[in-house]
Every structure is written in structure tokens, then in C-alpha cells.
Amino acid sequence: MRVGIAHHLGWAVAVTADDDHRVVDRRRLELVGEGLPVAPVHHEGGAWQLHRDGPPLNHADLAALVAEVRASVVATTAEALGRLAADLPGPVRSISLRAWSRDLPTDIAVLRTPPYESRADSVMYLEVLADDAARRGWDLHTFDAARVEARARDLLGARADDVLVGPRARLGPPWAKDHRLALAATVLAAQPPSTVSPD
């Protein structure tokens, strides 16, 4: 089984496929506990008044909030992936996540400035998902969200519509762009490395 993830702030769509690219599970994963900001750096530490009621938090308070949110994401993600693994008819071999920059600053004073503050929260979710998957022994694959569906279509050839669009008719809604993206990522993960060019 291969799991593809289309993540957002605080939640994700997960699609699991078998070796023939048939969907065996699709679900929404909650990634953070209730009552916590889903994007602490961007919403509580960023410059935009739109996301908060008062001035941005100072560095120390923002760092403490980020640590609290991350701890919740670690626990909530572990629970969600554990439940997913337990529900599947076979073991998970890999997880596919959107590619991310591995050199994001860690200093909160830098992290809350452009361009980092708009990326930091998304990267946190990806890091936690990757770490949890590694603890489970799942291989990690990353993908370019702008190109993954087109690349999967190239690999699938005449089967592309049946594999990527067909689940909507077979399974019913929801089957939207996130689901296609996550499934397409599992198609790439199933290929031998020599047949898939790096992103």
C-alpha cells in the first residue's frame, strides 16, 4: 500500500492505493488539536492583521505557541496515521508528501519575516508527517504539486483517466483535485527510481 497526502493547514487528504493503483482508502486526516491556531507563525506572528485580533505576538510568546502547536501536531498526526495504518488491508510501503525546503530558518525572529512566515507552518506539517512515517518504517517520496498529475498521466498512458478520475464514479464523492493529486503521487512512488525523473 502507498499513501499519498495532499496537506493543508491543520488537515490533509490521504489516499491509499495498491500496486495496481486502485484506491483502497481515502479520508481526511486531522493534523492538529482543536482550539489551537493552524498556522501560528503566519497568523499570530505575521504582519497581516486579517488573521488576529491584536498585535503580533512577541518573539518569546510566539516561540512558545509554535512549540505548543507542534506538540499537538505530533500527537494528532501520530493518532491519524496510526488509525489509517490499522484500517488498511495490508502494510504501508511508502508515503508521498509535497516537496519542501529543508533549509528553513529555525530562529523565530527570522522565521516570522517574509518570505519564511508564509511557508513555516506548512513545512511544520510536512516535517511532522515525514518524521512519523519514518518511525513507522514507511519510505518517503516527495513530489512537485504543480507537475505530479501530469507526470502520473504520462506514466499511466491510456489508463490515466480510469486510474485518476475513475474513482469518482466508482466510489462517489468526495473525489476532487486533492484526491487526484494524492493518488497521482502514489503512482510516481510505485515506479522504479530510474523511470521517474527527480522533481
| Range with the poorest average pLDDT among 57-61, 80-84, 126-130, 135-139 | 57-61
Average pLDDT over residues 165-194: 93
Cell numbers linked to 66:
509554535
Is the per-residue pLDDT at 90 higher than 70? Answer: yes
Question: Domains in the chain, start-ordered, CATH in brackets?
Answer: 2-195 (3.30.420.40)
Q: Count the helix, strand and coil residues of the chain and give each as a percent rounded to the nearest 5.
A: 50, 15, 35
Rounded CA gap, 1 and 188, in Å? 13
Is the per-residue pLDDT at 129 higher than 50? Answer: yes
Rounded CA gap, 65 and 59, in Å? 10
Rounded mean pLDDT of the chain?
Answer: 92
Is the per-residue pLDDT at 161 higher than 70? Answer: yes
Is the per-residue pLDDT at 46 higher than 90? Answer: no
Rounded CA gap, 40 and 71, in Å? 13
Q: Which residue has the higher pLDDT, 98 or 114?
A: 98
Instruction: Annotate 20-35 with three-state secondary structure.
Output: CCCEEEEEEEECCCCC
Rounded CA gap, 78 and 73, in Å? 8
Is the per-residue pLDDT at 197 higher than 50? Answer: no
Give alpha helix (H) positions in the chain.
45, 59-87, 108-111, 120-135, 148-156, 160-164, 166-171, 177-189
Highest mean pLDDT among 35-49, 82-96, 107-121: 82-96
Query: In the chain, pLDDT over 70 holds for what percent of residues?
Result: 93
Average pLDDT over residues 8-35: 97
